[in-house]
């Protein structure tokens, strides 16, 4: 039986069905997560690894994984895994490609609504005043119907956000390094624009790019200055695609009107300055933090692992080039 090492605790009712497929090494609920030292101790005899909570799987640890054939990541982003080195070592990398799409898109849409409608600010104020006397002509929030959402990164999640935005009457522009065909754009009801063009025209910028070295700090003070001063920035992708200090500056100096982010540059920490700003909504990287979604993610990851170990070709393989070798 193939040996599977899971770096973090998963409720037993979710993994029970996989105990017939793998010999599973997993921390208990009280321990929650294995340390790096414990993973190093176990990994030499394991056929598969399942990384939880962005556990880092880099060169030094990969070199100790003598038998490893596949590593699965609990999430769609896999910047915690040196997937290129895994490819060199003939180790497949799988992620939760499809199961995070809708929950993450829902969260992005929710925090967009929260900031553009002042929901968190109203809630905070009302808990203090306990009096329903809003400013009758407050110039802070916006009417979304007829406005333009600019989606940066138009993969599965970006497209799902676009569909939700269209549901409230927004126009969709997008930028992605890989432009869709005219037929796809027509089907999706989306207009393509260059990066700077989308920044300049959109009333809300929603970021859904994967984190790569090329995308590091793609959202910085210069970027924010290219947006409308009345525009909002939403990030449900990865923290380091934005310079958090520059976002603080942009909000304080009213370069943009507001922001909502579920991710942060130096996670798990959140800067004190950002937390103190009123015109930002912050959530603790919970894009897929719904139990139903979490169960689906475990199934997608472990079904992918099982398929790889039995010669299959699951859709959620990151380094598909290994199939040719």
Across the range 196-217, mean pLDDT stands at: 96
For 28-51, the DSSP string reads -TTT-B--HHHHHHHHTT-SEEEE
- State the chain's mean pLDDT as an integer: 95
Separation CA 256–CA 205 (nearest Å): 11
Using CA atoms, how far residue 211 sits from 10, 36, 312, 319, in Å, is 26, 23, 28, 16
104 Cβ neighbours under 8 A, 6+ residues apart: 76, 157, 160, 236, 287, 288
Tally of CB atoms within 10 A around 236: 27
| pLDDT tens for each residue of 83-118 | 999 999 999 999 998 999 999 999 999 999 999 999
Note the pTM of the prediction, 2 decimals.
0.89
Across the range 140-151, mean pLDDT stands at: 95
Give 323's pLDDT tier (boundaries 50, 70, 90): confident
Q: In which element (H, E) is residue 175 found?
A: strand 171-175
Q: Quote the tokens at residue 82.
A: 């040196």
Task: Flag whether pLDDT at 171 surpasses 80.
Answer: yes
Across the range 236-253, mean pLDDT stands at: 97
DSSP-derived 3-state class of residue 259: strand
Separation CA 44–CA 72 (nearest Å): 16
In this prediction, residue 137 carries a pLDDT of: 84
Give 143's pLDDT tier (boundaries 50, 70, 90): very high
Across the range 223-249, mean pLDDT stands at: 97
6 Cβ neighbours under 8 A, 6+ residues apart: 15, 24, 25, 26, 27, 49, 50, 52
| pLDDT tens for each residue of 26-75 | 999 999 999 999 999 999 999 999 999 999 999 999 999 999 999 999 99
In this prediction, residue 139 carries a pLDDT of: 83
| pLDDT tens for each residue of 246-304 | 999 999 999 999 999 999 999 999 999 999 999 999 999 999 999 999 999 999 999 99
In this prediction, residue 325 carries a pLDDT of: 58
84 Cβ neighbours under 8 A, 6+ residues apart: none
Alpha carbon dihedral 315, 316, 317, 323, in 10-degree steps, equals -10
Looking at residue 317, the DSSP 8-state letter turns out to be B
Whole-number percent of the chain with pLDDT over 70: 100
> Tokens 């038998």 label which residue?
67
Give 180's pLDDT tier (boundaries 50, 70, 90): very high
Phi and psi angles of residue 299, each rounded to the nearest 5 degrees, phi first: -65, -45
Contact 316, 97 (CB under 8 A): yes
Separation CA 29–CA 15 (nearest Å): 13
Task: Flag whether pLDDT at 134 surpasses 90.
Answer: no
Q: Which residues are the active-site residues?
A: 238, 267, 285
Task: Flag whether pLDDT at 18 surpasses 90.
Answer: yes
In this prediction, residue 135 carries a pLDDT of: 81
Q: What is the β-pairing status of strands 92-94 and 22-25? A: unpaired
Task: Flag whether pLDDT at 166 surpasses 80.
Answer: yes
Delineate the domains of the chain, giving CATH numbers in brackets.
2-99+290-324 (3.40.50.720), 101-282 (3.40.50.720)
Separation CA 36–CA 55 (nearest Å): 9
In this prediction, residue 55 carries a pLDDT of: 96
Q: What is the β-pairing status of strands 48-51 and 92-94? A: unpaired
């Amino acid at each position: 039986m193939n040996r599977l090492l899971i770096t973090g605790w998963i409720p037993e009712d979710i993994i029970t069905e996989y105990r017939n497929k793998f010999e599973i090494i997993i921390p208990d609920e009280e321990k929650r997560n294995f340390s790096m030292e414990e993973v190093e101790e176990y990994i030499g005899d394991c056929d598969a690894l399942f990384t939880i909570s962005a556990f880092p799987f880099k060169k030094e640890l990969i070199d100790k994984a003598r038998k490893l054939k596949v590593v699965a990541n609990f999430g769609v982003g896999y910047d915690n895994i040196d997937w290129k080195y895994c490819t060199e070592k003939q180790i497949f990398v799988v992620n939760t490609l499809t199961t995070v799409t809708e929950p993450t898109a829902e969260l992005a849409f929710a925090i967009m609504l929260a900031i553009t409608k002042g929901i968190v600010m109203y809630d905070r104020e009302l808990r203090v005043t306990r009096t329903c006397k809003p400013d009758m002509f407050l110039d802070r929030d916006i009417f979304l119907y007829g406005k333009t959402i600019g989606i940066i990164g138009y993969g599965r999640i970006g497209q799902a956000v676009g569909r939700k935005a269209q549901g409230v009457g927004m126009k969709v522009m997008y930028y992605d390094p890989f432009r869709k065909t005219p037929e796809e754009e027509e089907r999706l009801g989306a207009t393509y624009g260059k990066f700077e063009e989308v920044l300049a025209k959109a009333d809300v910028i929603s970021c859904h790019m994967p984190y790569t070295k090329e995308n590091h700090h793609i959202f910085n003070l210069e970027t924010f200055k290219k947006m409308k001063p009345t525009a909002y920035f939403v990030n449900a992708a990865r923290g380091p695609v934005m310079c958090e200090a520059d976002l603080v500056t942009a909000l304080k100096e009213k370069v943009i009107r507001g922001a909502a982010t579920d991710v942060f540059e130096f996670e798990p920490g959140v800067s004190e300055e950002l937390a103190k700003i009123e015109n930002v909504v912050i959530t603790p990287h919970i894009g897929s933090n719904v139990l139903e979604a979490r169960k689906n993610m475990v199934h997608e990851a472990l079904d992918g692992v099982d398929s790889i170990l039995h010669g299959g070709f699951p859709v959620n393989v990151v380094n598909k080039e290994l199939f040719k070798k």
